[in-house]
Amino acid sequence: MTATPSVSSPWMPEDDLLLKNSIEGLDTPATYSERPLPVEVGSVKMNDPELMDNTYISDQYNSDSDGDIPYFSDVEAMILEMDLAHTQESCILSEVARYQYEGTKRMIIRLEQSARSSFERTMSSQGALAIFYGRHLMHYIKKAEVTIGRSTDDTEVDIDLRKEGRANKISRRQATIKMEADGSFNLKNLGASSISLNGKDVARGQVVALGSSCLIEIRGMCFVFEINDKYVRRFLDSQPR
């Protein structure tokens, strides 16, 4: 009986390399049965295309569904972060500010009226046509024309600005305040330095009209001019025609 030759798998060059690596990595010599199967060398895990397509479609469907319905906690956090009452609150604050501003404005008007009435009473008691005052200086104007400046041994002025503060750079005759025949007042700058009336410069030789509550600035010193209208009318009525 003729022996049938055994059939074995063909020996590949990669097997030599595997055998060598196995022998080097073990303490005892490896047998052929202990060698890793050639199919595991550099093998790539292959997915079933049909299964992969179904899995991808299922994942994609679940992803889209989850994206359409957010979690309650996310929605709650989003609402809490939104300033939903900002517009309404701004309107309320604006309304409150408007009333507060109007109330403050009315209070300031009442204070101004009270101060003006007090000034008029004081000026009338002093027989003054107007008043010129600063932080330290207060002068009751009792005649139709007065001079403003810096008094010296040689020069006398009606309103001496040295009483207000440092007046070294102020001219001895800085300005005049004059009441006209119709009861109006004007200011004329006589000095070398300019004068500011309500924020506008008054050059040397220039004449400008004065009214109540005018702010006059001379070399950094501020003064207020007020007119006693009642006493001015009385004064004009008493003058011969």
Q: Over the stretch 120-179, which tens digit does the pLDDT of each residue have? A: 888 888 999 999 999 999 999 999 999 999 998 888 999 999 999 887 888 899 999 999
* C-alpha dihedral (12, 13, 15, 19), degrees to nearest 10: 150
With a cut of 50, say whether residue 31 has pLDDT above it: no
Which position has the higher pLDDT, 17 or 142? 142
- Give the angle 206-210-213 at the CA atoms, nearest 5°: 135
- Supply the mean pLDDT for the chain: 75
Distance CA 230, CA 123 (A): 10
Percentage of the chain modeled with pLDDT above 90: 36
- Please write the tens of the pLDDT for every residue from 99-109: 667 777 777 77
CB 26 within 8 A of CB 43: no
Distance CA 128, CA 142 (A): 4
CATH of domain 127-238: 2.60.200.20
- Mean pLDDT along residues 15-26: 52
With CA atoms as reference, report the closest residue to 159 among 173, 178, 179, 169. Answer: 173
- Edge-first strand listing for the sheet containing 130-133: 138-141, 130-133, 221-227, 214-218, 195-197, 200-202
The reported pLDDT for the residue numbered 43 is: 47
Distance CA 109, CA 6 (A): 123
CB 211 within 8 A of CB 198: no
With a cut of 70, say whether residue 80 has pLDDT above it: no
- 76-90: b (≥16 Cβ within 10 Å) or e: eeeeeeeeeeeeeee
pTM above 0.85, yes or no: no
